[in-house]
Structure 1
Amino acid sequence: MMTALRLAIGWLAVLAVKTLGPAFGLTPSPLVSALCLALLLAVIVWTAFGVVHEAEALAELLGDLLGTLVLTLSVVIIEVALVAAVMLGAEGAPTLGRDTMFAVQMIVLNGVVGLKLLIGGFRYREQTYNLQGATAYLTVLIPLTVFPLVLPNFTRSTADGTMTVTQAAAFSLMTIVLYGVFLILQTGRHRDHFQQPAGGQGQDLPPSAAAAAIEADHPSHDAAATPRRPHLPLDSGSDSGNGNGGGGGGGRRSRIVVHCVRLLASILVIVLLAKGMAQLLDQVIVALDAPAALGGVLIAAIVFTPEAITALRAANNNELQRAINLCLGAATSTVGLTVPAVLGIGLLTGQPAILGLPPTEMVLLAVTLLMSALTFSGSRTTMLGGATHLVVFFAYLVLIFSP
């Protein structure tokens, strides 16, 4: 019922935007533009929660790893669509792709990671995760982030943080290949690296009891761990453990199809609303004389709010590996998909995208990547790491409005 209502309101909003879209450029005051933008953003965020709901349902059918991957890719596709809509629909937005990617790294790697480590540390004192998986994410994330956001500032071909046609084509191809190899290994040979280690999930215990269970590896704690959900073939005879006979595979397949259709319908709503949002966002930022980077921050916050809530819930349930897959996966996927899209738009429109970060942002990015590598260098996490990440996140927020 809620899914149908969400989709109905979303498609009504799409119809309204298509009908009233030309009037967006004729709004009489910044207040009207801001109100229209707020309504549109509310619909987009609510629809994004629908994307999360369908992705979580697919996770129950496909397993946590594939379900998390579906959620991450869905959210990043929405983000790319919003960035593309603003870049194609408004002049003077050559830095939006850069600002959005940087905002995602700051929000996810500092804000969300910091909160989840604080929540998990407060409740369980220490949490375990799969070190190999976190290391794999960071190994891919560091070059994917540094090459487009830092390296353009130090090349001699251009002097404004842009790339030449040759550089843009080469870096786009390199990004796609590296991210593609990572996905193949993540879902294939190294699948176990991204799953919660045995005994890594705890009961809903007070902090002292949870810590004692972790330290002693008590059998009752291990028994409470949620078993790994294997990826069952679609034509399997059982319905993912529901005990039904030969008809289970067909029922499971049909549910997967239904959730996929709903997922795509929800994503399509957001993509179609993106153009109207782009027009209003540009008007509001200009009218309020707000920092240009605020557009990227707003897009990142809108798109990743549902996924951030899912990651925080996972940390609260002592499913730290799932939270890591969501956070580090979002950061990696954002760069892996946004860089080729932004560079491609720049080549098509003849307006080169500015990707190189200013010096202040480069320092924040370097600190964030270094801290992430240190935070996920051991097999357990604590509240101290979370507090440190949050300090960097608050510094980022201050520097947006007072650079």
Structure 2
Amino acid sequence: MRLLIQWTSIIPALAWLLYFSGLIQTSDIFQIVASILLILSVMSSVHHSEIIAHRVGEPFGTIILAISITVIEVSIIISLMVSGGDDSVSLARDTVYSATMLILNGIVGACLFIGGLKHHEQTFSKHSVTIALVSLVSIVIFTLVFPTFTKSIEGPFYTTPQLIFVSITCLIIYSFFLFAQTTRHREYFLSEGEEKNEHSGKISNGVFYISLVFLVASLGIVVLLAKTLSPTIETIVTSYNLPKTLVGVIIAAIILLPEGLAAIIAARKNKLQSSLNLALGSALTSIGLTIPCVAVVSSIYDMKIILGLDIKSIILLGLSVFTVMLSLSSGRSNIVYGVVLLMNLAAFIFMIIYP
């Protein structure tokens, strides 16, 4: 255990050292090393998140991981919006849309597929899924669909009053979702047989705080290395005559790796409830926090931001949400649901390459 903690602590430190050294941009060798450290940092973040989840119990462990990743993601989006040019007006929308599609189809689909492959059938709380999906559908429609059809301003934009209203709505919905998940209906989000105080005394305070620090350090360097390596990824993508929008999907996938890996590991251990807590909670956190933060920044810097999706993207998003709702409606999962969701993800990526 001590050796594992040391290994997962050294890797983020080496990654941060390489990042600040400036050597990544000097040669292909250092870019390969950075890519390896990025993957190992993802593994480190998953390990530390499992320690934290074991210490604080569910659903707080998954909430900490989801919020940590989303806060870092939001900070990167805002920094690119402030320093970017005309391309930054759709940055928040593209990032949130890609993250939502990857979570709903990729992470949830992979969890249902791998869990079904090993355990044939897994159970989870229908109540927890319903609470999460009701909240998610409302937030998704408010943020990514309505702007395309409003008439107060031409184009897929919100006026300032509309943006303020939607931001407040997102925060209220997300706040009450957290209230239900952590307090009022916490029992819905616990795995079967899991005791609320099961974590007490198993992880010392020292190990807990060390893991919390290294979780944030690991997540931070994952995002920064992904951002640093994005020009290389863009060069590779364009060399194959692929659309640049695919780069954003790849970067979003790298950022979501810790959540995805943690969720898949939980599903393989027959803890599908924890997987769904993490996946659906991450989707809600990503939209519920990102849009209000972006709204504040756009107001301060008097920037226009595109939020509305085009019709094709709305249909794909609607298909994804509807399929997830049907797949999780019975409280029992099987491999077929996972395959269908993964095919939705394949369609999403295919339509980017061949629009």
TM norm. shorter chain > 0.5: yes
Q: Please list, as runs of the form range in 1=range in 2, the aligned pairs for 1:4-153 lying within 5 A after superposition.
A: 4-17=9-22, 40=34, 42-91=36-85, 92-153=87-148
Secondary structure class of the residue paired with 1:150: helix
| Alignment of 1:197 onto 2:159 | no
Q: Could you tell me how far apart the structure 1 residues matched to 2:51 and 2:298 are?
A: 37
Q: Equivalents in 2 of 1:320, 1:270: separation in Å? A: 26
User: Compared with structure 1, are the counterparts of its residues 124 and 267 closer, same or farther at alpha carbon in structure 2 (3 Å cutoff)?
Assistant: closer
CA deviation vs aligned residue, 1:12-37 (integer Å, no higher than 9, x gap): 123124xx79xx6xx9xxxx7x8876
Cα distance between partner residues in 2 of 1:42 and 1:302? 12
Shift of 1:165: 1.6
* Structure 2 counterpart of 1:302, from 254, 273, 284: 254
Which AA in structure 2 matches 1:68? T
Equivalent residue, structure 2, for 1:245 = none
Per the TM alignment, residue 374 of structure 1 is displaced from its structure 2 partner at its CA by 0.9
Q: Deviations over 1:223-245 (max 9, x none)?
A: xxxx435276xxxxx723xxxxx
Deviation digits for residues 173-210 of structure 1 (CA, Å, limit 9, x no counterpart):
22122211211221111100111234xxxxxxxxxxxx
> What whole-Å deviation, never above 9, does each CA across 1:251-298 have from its counterpart, x for those lacking one?
822322222222233344456657645676777777876424223312
Q: Which moved more, 1:115-124 or 1:332-341?
A: 115-124
Which one of the candidate residues 135, 156, 174 is aligned to 2:169? 174
Cα distance in 1 for residues equivalent to 2:106 and 2:225: 27
Structure 2 residue aligned with 1:230: 197
In structure 1, list runs of 5 or more residues that go unmatched. Answer: 199-226, 233-237, 241-250
Greater share of helix residues, 1 or 2?
A: 2
CA contact (8 A) 1:89 1:279 kept: no
Partners of 1:164 and 1:287 lie apart in 2 by 39
Partner of 2:3: none
Is the contact made by 1:82 and 1:278 (CA closer than 8 Å) also made in structure 2? no
d(CA) in 2 for partners of 1:271 and 1:310?
17
**Would the alpha carbon gap of residues 135 and 314 (structure 1) be closer, same or farther in structure 2, given more than 3 Å must change?**
same
Q: Which amino acid aligns with 2:63?
A: L
Counterparts in 2 of 1:73 and 1:16: CA distance versus 1, 3 Å: same
Q: Is the 8 A contact 1:153 1:357 kept in 2?
A: yes
Would you say the 8 A contact 2:8–2:41 is kept in 1? no
Contact 2:147 2:157 in 1 (8 A): yes
Aligned length in residues: 349
d(CA) in 2 for partners of 1:356, 1:370: 19
Shift in CA distance, 276/120, structure 1 to aligned 2, threshold 3 Å? closer
Q: Do the aligned partners of 2:144 and 2:307 also contact (CA within 8 Å) in 1?
A: yes
Among 194, 203, 206, the residue aligned to 1:254: 206
Inter-partner Cα distance in structure 2 for 1:49 and 1:373: 30
Question: Are the aligned partners of 1:371 and 1:389 in contact in 2 as well (CA < 8 Å)?
Answer: yes
Q: 2:201 aligns with which of 239, 242, 245?
A: 239
Q: Which residue of 1 aligns with 2:283?
A: 331
Q: Could you say if the C-alpha distance between residues 402 and 275 of structure 1 is closer, same or farther in structure 2, counting changes exceeding 3 Å? A: closer
For normalisation by structure 2, the TM-score amounts to 0.88
What are the ranges of 5 or more consecutive residues in structure 2 without an aligned counterpart?
1-5
| 340 and 45 in structure 1: CA distance in 2 versus 1, 3 angstrom threshold | farther
Give the structure with higher Rg (CA). Answer: 1
Compare 294-303 and 37-46 and name the one that shifted more: 37-46
2:268 to 312, 316, 323: 316
1:354-391 CA distance string (max 9 Å, x none): 11111111000011111111111112112221121122
- Residue 397 of structure 1 corresponds to which residue in structure 2? 349
In 1, the alpha carbon distance for the partners of 2:36 and 2:292 equals 29
Report if aligned partners of 1:10, 1:43 keep a CA contact under 8 Å in 2: yes
Q: Percent identity?
A: 31
Residues in 2 aligned to 1:9 and 1:262: alpha-carbon distance in whole angstroms = 12
RMSD (Å) for aligned C-alpha atoms:
2.7
Closer, same or farther: CA 349–388 of 1 in aligned 2, 3 Å: same
**Which whole-Å CA distance do the structure 1 matches of 2:240 and 2:91 have between them?**
18
More deviation, 291-300/184-193: 291-300
Distance 1:354 1:277, change over 3 A: farther
